[in-house]
Chains A and B, each alone.
Chain A
């Protein structure tokens, strides 16, 4: 074998081997994160974490019940605002839009999707918090809702477009109107994909911290209704992890584990139950 041929073969094996190493390395990061959080957070996780309020600084124990409830409330508000607007905008793009309008809306959605979440926080702050005069769960929920809109718009459009034109033609040929066709044939055919995208979108905003910092703010107590500032798991993790107390760090690990478990289960569940091939827009 000539030296040149040998060199080409060695390069082949080495470089292809390196791509395998890169893959193992990248995938193992996920297992490392998960394992480390279970190791650090598992020991701090107890029943009180889910049922009690945070204790005053310096006292051991306590939990994050208010933050868990707060996160649930924020997610509900995000779903109520982001899902319908995003879904209908996606429906418009797929079924009704004229070409120039469609590309304008599509471009706007992609732009909104790429906006850093902290900038969404500023936007909702100027729009809601400044006007109300105080921080509130409503502002936080709206911030998360704004983040969901482009995700839902683009995924809904994609799944509706994937419905074969022959289904539409068949329905119209049977005498159904456009509205009936869309509501009874097109949307049901795409419902699995749209539902998966909705769950993935909610899982994504569930972990968002930056847009909540100056909209929902935080709260050491229960927050009734939507007009008060509210605690949320991600903001609690940030506050506790960067704080100076060991007890806070322990709580942060427990909260990190709960948040990660929720996000991963929601993600894996949505993909496995509904559709593996769903990918949210970048």
Chain B
């Protein structure tokens, strides 16, 4: 959008200097983000030159021998985020549909406010409750239960420790549901009323109008909401660190303890001795940065695409 004020001849000195000051702060945000990327790049130089691209693919993490590979952490981050989305997407879309299509406005606003509060709960609190409620629950009930339902499936092998990929994924799911709902409800509400009315007039049931007309119409925006949630899940640190088990190994079983990129930085950064160790941890931060950058950019493109479509209709 163009500036709110048209340019005129003879601009006041105070106006011009205010513009310069404001510009400086705008540029400051730009510079800060650039500096962040530069610092991650510069401070991971030792690790990048020593290991190259192999850093992303090798699985050894041996600070004593000075041998570092980020594969187990990348694997852990991807697996836990995938579990989180598998659980949170159906629930989150369901809640969005209920709040946007069925609930009366007062109820929709009230529930929306409660979910905003849920989004505000600090992640260390999720971790605290996860460690003392979910971990014992997983160990005694859910993990043995899943194995009984599907015996012999490699995903459910190994001892029931309570901590591991599945537990971390479930905690993440709870944490990202509010993000999906917050965006999802909005994009569903942006679908023009005529779309619903046309579907109902053709004799579809309420559910058919929602599922076959409203949801497909809002699909890019819903994908945007899911990508936004994915961005959150990838970078989430504390709750995951507390329940994932912190063992740098790639395991096929979801019950096995693992590690995530954010968790290894949180646990080992202050203890990292030697430049190479620290630089390897910074490089993991760089990978995380690039990953969330791509995901968030995709989310925003999708959301913009939906709002364009809605306003054009």
Contact = CB atoms under 8 A, between A and B. Distances in A.
Interface of A: 8-9, 11-12, 15-16, 18-23, 25-27, 29-30, 33, 36-37, 40, 85-86, 88-89, 91-99, 101-102, 104-105, 108-112, 114-123, 125-127, 146, 149-150, 153, 161, 165, 168, 172, 177-179, 182, 200, 203-204, 206-210, 213-214, 217, 234, 237-238, 241-242, 249, 252-253, 256, 259-260, 263-264, 267-268, 271, 276, 279, 282
Contact of A279 (B26, B39, B182, B231): B182
A259 B300 contact: no
Interface of B: 1-5, 12, 14-15, 18-19, 21-23, 25-30, 32-36, 39-40, 42-43, 90-92, 94-95, 97-99, 101-103, 109, 111, 113-118, 120-129, 131-133, 174, 177-179, 181-183, 205-208, 211, 228, 231, 234-238, 241-242, 262, 265-266, 269-270, 281-282, 285, 288-289, 292-293, 295-297, 299-300
Contact of A108 (B29, B103, B127, B178): B29
Of A23, A89, A127, A150, most buried by chain B (CB within 10 Å of CB) is A23
Contacts of A177: 12, 14-15
- Chief secondary structure at chain A's binding surface: helix
A85 B22 CA distance: 9
A209 B123 contact: yes
A111 B122 contact: no
B237 A108 contact: no
B22 A168 contact: no
A282 B5 contact: no
A30 B118 contact: yes
A45 B116 CA distance: 27
Contacts of B111: 23, 27
Given A111-B33, A117-B237, A208 B122 contact: yes
Contacts of B101: 19
B80 to A, nearest CB: 14
A76 B91 CA distance: 38
B128 A252 contact: yes
Contacts of B121: 30, 33, 207, 260, 263-264
7 closest A-B pairs by CB: A116-B235, A207-B122, A22-B94, A92-B26, A88-B25, A92-B22, A114-B296
Nearest to A267: B120
A161 to B, nearest CB: 8
Contact of A116 (B21, B205, B237): B237
A119 B285 contact: yes
Contacts of B133: 36
Nearest to A16: B207
A30 B114 contact: yes
B102 A16 contact: yes
B32 A19 contact: no
A96 B19 contact: yes
B300 A110 contact: yes
A209 B102 CA distance: 38
20 contacts: A20-B102, A26-B115, A40-B132, A93-B26, A99-B2, A105-B27, A108-B32, A110-B296, A115-B293, A121-B265, A122-B39, A125-B269, A126-B40, A178-B5, A200-B120, A204-B120, A209-B124, A242-B131, A253-B128, A260-B122
Contacts of A111: 33, 293, 296-297
Max chain B C-beta neighbours (<10 A), residue from A27, A85, A116, A217? A116
B5 A118 contact: no
A161 B113 CA distance: 24
B33 to A, nearest CB: 4
